Amino acid sequence: MRRSMFNTLSLVSLVILLPLRPQVIAQEKPLTFWELMTLHNARSTVISADGEWVAFTVSQLDTASMESEAHIWLGPADGSEAPRQFTNGESSESGPRFTPDSRSLTFLATRGDSKRQVWSIPLSGGEAIQLTHFEDGLPGTPVWNREMTKFAWTERQEWPDKDEREARAKKNDDVRIVEEDRVLHSDIHVHDMESGETVQVTDDDFDNGGPVWSPDGQWLAFTSNRTESPWYNSNSDIFIVASTGGEVRRLTDNDGSDSGPTFTPDGEWIVYSANTTAGRSHEDSDYFIIRSSGGTSRNLTAEFDFSVGGGVTFTPDGESFWFSAGIKTDTHLFRCDIEDGTVEQITEGAGSHSGFSFSDDRRTAVWLMTRPEWPGEVMAGRPDGRSRQLTDLNPQLKEYAIASQEVVSWKGPDQLDIEAVLTHPVGYEQGRRYPTIFVIHGGPNGRHSNTFNSRMSQMLAAKGYMVVGPNVRGSSSYGTAFGIADEGDWGGKDFQDIMAGVDRLIEMGLTDSEQLGIMGGSYGGFMTYWAITQTDRFKAAIAHAGIVDWWSFWGQTDIPTYLEYGFLGLPWETKEIWERWSGMEYVTNVTTPLLITHGEEDRRVPIAQAEQFWRGMDRQGLPVVFLRYPREGHGIGEPRHRIDLYQRQIAWFDHYLKGEGERSPDGRYFRH
């Protein structure tokens, strides 16, 4: 097992030059799902090459159209003026990127009669100029070379007889052969802005993606799974090809997953992230370095016992690089020395520091910071020194009561330390017990972060609930041993971790044992189903997109190999494990009222999983309501659906935990 050895002696305190909100805002107005749904959300932070300007997207729900819109904001990086909305198209804009001379901003948008294209607008203002003219719109996300004279993207192949297939489909002569879908692959393309020409760089029988440019623009590094049956493993490797196309050269040959290549400033080396264990997709990833000409790779973060991943940003001299990583309930910026692998934590404090973008001289950075008491704000400053808050995107929150959060811990089985993010109900009074809802994350290698949670925690806390988000064994950001401690035991000791938390909060005098609820989505949905088959201590439950029968799920999902690793083999090889942890096996044990919610187009956890458990409970005459959301996938995205979901979830807990409201024929509860 790797040790956690990274430098914590030179942590840099972030000096915030603009006033932050206090930790608890005790105003009279409680938050509702409506206020939370209409928050401004910042994304895609970028800084100009000269470090003078900052751009980012801000999305918000349009209450008239009930559609989410995103526009680009612009402001000086020194904070001398507040950022302002810079684009205002009829449709959303995305992907802001400054030109190398720092005078213009490019972005993606659909405007007028054109489909999705690249546009440019001077920072001094004026009309946007359309830079690309793809007949069917740009099908991928552009990855620019340093000079922004070319960009690459990944595009899925189309059937050569596409028109014929569409004609047959109109006649209902459209039988699909499942194996035939494997014939189509994703290829990398390069577009030349000056000539307007496009070159297909890869053309083979494999999926290719994640292209990145070499500093001189001559090469592209990318990721591809070139095994015999790529749909049954995650063994991707790093390859390199000339940006004009030609011979594809393999750089890595690791049994696990290699991804996220980044060239060093001199182009001689490539840093990438990798899992060294075949089949495992979490909690032991490291950064490796290899010559761009090929050779033997070297592990740079072997002594850093936390998972890494994604692209990195090099210091100007190329001797070290910055990266972001989750550490327990927080996310921070780190710097890794390439020579000796020393990792130094740069940021500190509760919350999340992510989305870093650096000026060319690396003296200024811009990023998003989310804290427990407020949503993401844009920060700017030196990556190893003073910083300033540039935005106050949701000043209206000062008028509302924001629930306070803290990280609590208890001992699970084997005396394992388990942490949880605990959100106090608004108006919390010490010494009083509250109705408590355990919210179980997905994964199982997800985690709860100590950040502002607008989706459930703040909403439930505003209704008087204590909300607990446990990071049970198997969660990410707690080290390798913790992350793999649930292998072959999904529903075993991780469930016991939850119940140990229930006991601990009751012991602390925080939770009313007769007002316990549980909810979760995806793996959290599985755990919700599982919990109510194993105990009657929860008086109400809500399961979203959860798994109830692991064997049938293996045959339905798009991630079968992930299950094979989690259950230590194929269903017929470790049959007893697959069946042991399937909630459907114990549906006759259920007494807890259950609300089931599921998207009808969910490909990750098909709705048949929900149908099975609903049928099992309904056949026994148990209290269950099943909500099917048309057009929705693994999550619920359409605004009207989200509003409906939130209303019903709160009403469900209000009814069964507080005794409020009466049941209507459609399963919705209303207060007296």
CA dist 412 → 182, 417, 501, 537 (Å)? 44, 6, 8, 18
Q: What would the mean pLDDT of 106-124 be, rounded to a whole number?
A: 93
Chain segment 402-440, per-residue pLDDT in tens: 999 999 999 999 999 999 999 999 999 999 999 999 999
- Pull the structure tokens for residue 412: 């699970």
Residue carrying structure tokens 């008087």: 464
Q: CA 133, CA 503: separation in Å to the nearest integer?
A: 62
Q: What would the mean pLDDT of 113-136 be, rounded to a whole number?
A: 92
- The phi, psi pair for 565, rounded to 5°, reads -75, -45
Bond before 83 cis per omega within 30 degrees: no
Q: Tell me the percentage of the chain whose pLDDT exceeds 70.
A: 93
pLDDT category, 671, cuts 50, 70, 90? very low
Assess whether pLDDT exceeds 50 at residue 568: yes
Chain segment 154-184, per-residue pLDDT in tens: 998 888 888 888 898 899 988 888 887 787 8
Q: Quick check: 273 and 260 in contact, CB under 8 A?
A: yes
pLDDT category, 275, cuts 50, 70, 90? confident
pLDDT category, 353, cuts 50, 70, 90? very high
**Lowest mean per-residue pLDDT among 32-41, 284-293, 528-537:** 32-41
Give the per-residue pLDDT at 163. 84
Assess whether pLDDT exceeds 70 at residue 666: no
Chain segment 310-347, per-residue pLDDT in tens: 779 999 899 999 999 999 999 999 999 999 999 999 99
- Please give the DSSP secondary-structure letter assigned to residue 21: P
User: Mean pLDDT in the chain?
Assistant: 90
Give the per-residue pLDDT at 158. 82
Q: What would the mean pLDDT of 142-162 be, rounded to a whole number?
A: 92
Domains of the chain from N-terminus onward: 1-99+101-145+351-399 (2.40.128), 403-670 (3.40.50.1820)
Q: CA 576, CA 114: separation in Å to the nearest integer?
A: 56
Q: CA 23, CA 36: separation in Å to the nearest integer?
A: 18
Q: CA 102, CA 100: separation in Å to the nearest integer?
A: 5
Give the per-residue pLDDT at 280. 61
- Pull the structure tokens for residue 125: 């203002």
pLDDT category, 663, cuts 50, 70, 90? low
Q: Which residue has the higher pLDDT, 52 or 139?
A: 52
Chain segment 448-487, per-residue pLDDT in tens: 999 998 778 999 999 999 999 999 999 999 998 999 999 9
Q: CA 615, CA 261: separation in Å to the nearest integer?
A: 47
Q: pTM (2 decimals)? A: 0.92
Q: Quick check: 392 and 377 in contact, CB under 8 A?
A: yes
Q: Quick check: 614 and 593 in contact, CB under 8 A?
A: no
Angle, helix 493-507 to helix 523-534, in steps of 10 degrees: 70
Q: CA 497, CA 471: separation in Å to the nearest integer?
A: 9
